[in-house]
Amino acid sequence: MQKTKIAAEVMMQPKGGPAGLQGKWELFVKDMKRDKNLYVLLAPYMLLFLLFTVLPVIISIFFSFTYFNMLEFPTWVGWDNYAKLLWNDDVFLIGLKNTLIFAVITGPVSYIACFVFAWLINELNPKVRAFMTLVFFAPSISGNVFFIWQIIFSSDSYGIMNGFLMKIGIIYEPIQWLQDPQYMMAIIIVVQLWLSLGTSFLAFIAGLQTVDRTLYEAGAVDGVRNRWQELWFITLPSMRPQLMFGAVIQITSSLAVADVAMALAGFPSVQYGAHTIVTHLVDYGTIRFEMGYASAIATVLFVLMLGSNLIVQKLLKRVGE
């Protein structure tokens, strides 16, 4: 079962039976009639899902091959937008580089943090556990409270960080944290990590609570000597489904860094120090209204997100096999 690939599932169809085309069609109609109530239940959600998620992806891919400004009729330009993106748009390449840096750092770190904190919290007694879950989860549901980091890293001496560092005498002049590309990325990464203990973190907490307790006792009898071995041989393999779900959530959000970057470093940021693929998309899509070009950016982002997710899923399926 574990080896079944998602792509393979797309291909799979219910068995048509031995009869010919005629028979298959009759069987199809019969099935549809039998299940019509189920399709009725599915229809409202699926129609909206098609309209607001599936169709947009198709539209985006289509328009990425056109020049379109929302006023004139779109004209077909072939691969021009992609060629321009990769060879003539230095700002996009900065955005791509920053996005990959963010993703490579915040993706794995947040994923491991979600698991490690969930694992530690799981050792506590239920009341403390509920409290600590709230402490770690709260930032991710607090909406735009991350603006507080702007005050913490404020460029004058009233900023907490500057005030603190000046008081203990490490620096004598306030540092322009969010205007200096040297610090910008690091600060956004910290804030992004602060916000990243969300859905996957809860999934891990929940997953840990459902690991069969008797496995640990059986493990102890079979020679599991400490908590690290317990983690590696019992806990992690039992949690593979949650780990795979968490990976999807963390990868997708780590490639979509934009809101925090725009709120903290400004838009556009100094020397494009915090420019990402998504901020580039916002620039072309909502300010310059170059929809064809913006669609190409969105398509690149789509391929990047889907591709890295599918690769990581494949790798995670191999763990422990």
Partner 1 sequence: MKLAIRLKRRVNRSWQVDLMLFLVLGVFGAFMAVPLIYVINNAFKPLDELFIFPPTLFVRNATLENFADLFQVMKNSWVPFSRYIFNTVFITAAGTAGHILLASAAAYPLAKHKFRGHKLLFTVIVLSLMFSPHVTAIPNYMIMSTIGWIDSYQAVIIPAFAYPLGLYLMKQFMEQIPDALVEAAKIDGASEYRIFWQIVMPLVKPAWLTLLILMMQMLWGTDGGSFIYSEQLKTMHYAMGQIIQGGIARAGVGAAVAVIMMSVPIVTFVLSQSNVIQTMASSGMKD
Question: In the range 193-252, which residues lie near partner 1 by CB under 8 A?
Answer: 194, 197, 199, 202-203, 205-207, 209-210, 212-213, 216-217, 220, 224-227, 229-230, 239-245, 248-249, 251-252
With a CB cutoff of 8 Å and minimum separation 6, the contacts of 2 are: 317, 321
CA distance 45 to 51: 10
Binder to partner 1 among 95, 107, 139, 273 (CB under 8 A)? 139
Strands 75-76 and 66-67: antiparallel
Least spacing, CB of residue 35 vs partner 1, in Å: 4
Residue 26 or 271 having the CB closest to partner 1: 26
Binding mask 150-169 for partner 1 (x = CB under 8 A): -xx----xxxx--xx-xx--
Residues in a beta bridge with 67:
75
Residues 281-300 that bind partner 1 (CB under 8 A): 281, 285-286, 291, 294-295, 298-299
Least spacing, CB of residue 188 vs partner 1, in Å: 15
Residues 106-135 that bind partner 1 (CB under 8 A): 113, 117, 120-121, 123, 126, 130, 132-135
Least spacing, CB of residue 142 vs partner 1, in Å: 4
CA distance 3 to 204: 23
Burial class (CB in 10 A: 0-12, 13-18, 19+), 272: buried
With a CB cutoff of 8 Å and minimum separation 6, the contacts of 181 are: 269, 270, 271, 273, 274
Write out the two tokens for 162.
């500057």
The tally of CA atoms less than 13 A away on the side-chain side of residue 118 is 29
Evaluate the CA torsion angle 38, 48, 202, 217 in order and state its sign: positive
Least spacing, CB of residue 196 vs partner 1, in Å: 11
* Size, binding site for partner 1 by CB under 8 A: 123
Residue 36 or 83 having the CB closest to partner 1: 36
Q: In what helix (H) or strand (E) does residue 212 lie, and over which residues does it extend? A: none
Residue 220 or 315 having the CB closest to partner 1: 220
Rg of the chain taking only CA atoms, in angstroms: 25
CA distance 114 to 137: 10
Residue 5 or 104 having the CB closest to partner 1: 5
Residues 45-104 that bind partner 1 (CB under 8 A): 45-46, 48-49, 51-57, 59-60, 63, 70
Residue 77 or 281 having the CB closest to partner 1: 281
> In this structure, what are the phi and psi dihedrals at residue 93, rounded to the nearest 5 degrees?
-65, -35
Residue 91 or 116 having the CB closest to partner 1: 116
Residues 9-48 that bind partner 1 (CB under 8 A): 9-10, 12-14, 28, 31-32, 35, 37-42, 44-46, 48
Residue 165 or 181 having the CB closest to partner 1: 165
Residue 219 · residue 230 · CB < 8 Å? yes
Residue 61 or 181 having the CB closest to partner 1: 61
Write out the two tokens for 163.
């005030």
